[in-house]
Every structure is written in structure tokens, then in C-alpha cells.
Amino acid sequence: MTEKHDSFLPRPVRDSQSEMNEIVLPNDTNPLGALLGGRLMHWIDMAAAMAAHRHSHQYVVTASI
């Protein structure tokens, strides 16, 4: 079933708000126990993609960070 969405209508932030939880495992850290920056950027990108998809009801890509 396909639902048609009008992408030109304004949407409140609450309709696209996303929250994500991740557990930092030893594989996600450097030898000093600090979270690796690349892993954090990956999680930020995933959360942003979820919010963008919910907001636009379209496929989204990360063009640049």
C-alpha cells in the first residue's frame, strides 16, 4: 500500500524528531578508552538520516559532512 504525501506542506519538528541510543563497546574505542570519532560521526549520520527521511518521506543521502 502506498501512501501519498505532499512534500510541500510544512511539518512541525515533532513529526520528524528522532532519538537513537547506542552502547559504546570496546571495539568502538581507542586504547585509552575514548570513543572513536569516526564511530560517533557514523551514529550522527544515521540519526540525521532517520530525521530527514521522516521529514521528507523521501530517500535521503548524506552529500557532505
Average pLDDT, the chain: 86
Question: Is there a domain that residue 2 lies in?
Answer: no
Question: Is there a domain that residue 58 lies in?
Answer: yes
Give CA–CA dist 36/59, Å, rounded.
28
Q: What is the pLDDT of residue 1?
A: 47
Structural domain for 65, as ranges:
34-65
Is-above-0.85 flag for pTM?
Answer: no
Q: What is the pLDDT of residue 14?
A: 82
Q: What is the pLDDT of residue 3?
A: 57
Give CA–CA dist 21/1, Å, rounded.
30
Minimal CA–CA distance to 27: which of 16, 19, 38? 38
Q: What is the pLDDT of residue 35?
A: 96
Question: Is there a domain that residue 65 lies in?
Answer: yes
Question: Is there a domain that residue 18 lies in?
Answer: no
Question: Is there a domain that residue 42 lies in?
Answer: yes
Q: What is the pLDDT of residues 3-54, one digit of tens each?
A: 555 666 787 878 888 888 999 999 999 999 999 999 999 999 999 999 988 8
Give CA–CA dist 19/26, Å, rounded.
23
Task: Please count the structural domains in the chain.
Answer: 1
